Chains A and B, each alone.
Chain A
């Protein structure tokens, strides 16, 4: 089973700053099968990025996904107040299994 490790657990930043979130896989993941989600309290998770770097419908271009193999990154170029949330990475493998990381909380500093 592929394990996804997200870091850091908590990222304390101010609005306008750049956020860099990491997702590391225990073995190589197909780039086409790596996604990122945003989760705000009391709301349903929202798909941000699929295929490691493609933005989902309606996602602003300040969200950028990158990476390959075992190391993937979600970058938020300039944090807006609405971006403070928990972010999860997820991978799909052909078992089939869908696996999520434990999440990174982006909080206001």
Chain B
């Protein structure tokens, strides 16, 4: 059974930093891209970042580019999101999501998700 368990969410002051982790199990972690998706209170889902299966390729939403860094440790089956220069608008539940098997070489959707970890940015 695929399991994705996020951790690291917390209350942090504006301008602060936080690192989220996502522990994966139930599948061959090193074979799939992984992503972070967030949902702010009362808002819809927003894709944040994605990393290729080997960690060599990353992409970010414009809203977090230059502030957030996605990474992975395939030896530990763990995905990370380093969040710096946090802003109030980064307040959200952050979800780890597994990329579905590639179709035409692309991750087009996410086939398993975690339960999320809550990040609150407030003074």
Which residues of A line the B interface, CB within 8 A?
Answer: 32-33, 35, 42-47, 50-51, 56-57, 88, 90, 92, 94, 96-103
| Interface 1/0 per residue, B101-115 and A, CB below 8 Å | 001101111111111
A92-B46 CB under 8 A given contacts A43-B115, A47-B100: no
For the complex formed, measure the closest distance between the CB of B16 and the CB atoms of chain A, giving whole angstroms.
27
**Is A44 in contact with B115, judged by CB distance below 8 angstroms?**
yes
- Is B44 interfacial (CB-CB < 8 Å)? yes
Q: List 5 A-B contacts (CB under 8 A).
A: A43-B115, A44-B115, A47-B100, A56-B111, A98-B37
Q: In the bound complex, do residue B113 and residue A44 qualify as a contact, i.e. CB atoms below 8 Å apart?
A: yes
How many angstroms from the CA of A57 to the CA of B100 in the assembled complex? 11
In the bound complex, how far is the Cα of B104 from the Cα of A43, in angstroms?
Answer: 30
Check if A98 sits within 8 Å of B115, measured CB to CB: no
* Interchain CB contact under 8 A, B109 and A88: no
Q: Which residues of A sit under 8 angstroms from B45, Cβ to Cβ?
A: 45, 88, 90, 100, 103
Q: Do the beta carbons of A44 and B95 come within 8 Å of each other?
A: yes
Give Cα A35 to B111, complex, Å: 10
Q: Is A32's CB under 8 angstroms from B44's CB?
A: no
Are B95 and A45 in contact, CB atoms less than 8 angstroms apart? yes
- The reply to whether the CB of B47 lies closer than 8 angstroms to some CB of chain A is yes
Residues of chain B with a CB closer than 8 A to A56's CB: 111
Contacts of B110 in A (CB 8 A): 45, 47, 98
Could you tell me the distance between the alpha carbons of A57 and B47 in the complex, rounded to whole angstroms?
23
Residues of chain A within 8 A of B109, CB atoms compared: 33, 35, 47, 50, 90, 92, 98
Q: In the assembly, what is the distance between CA of A96 and CA of B4, in Å?
A: 23
Alpha-carbon distance between A43 and B110 when the two chains are bound, in angstroms: 15
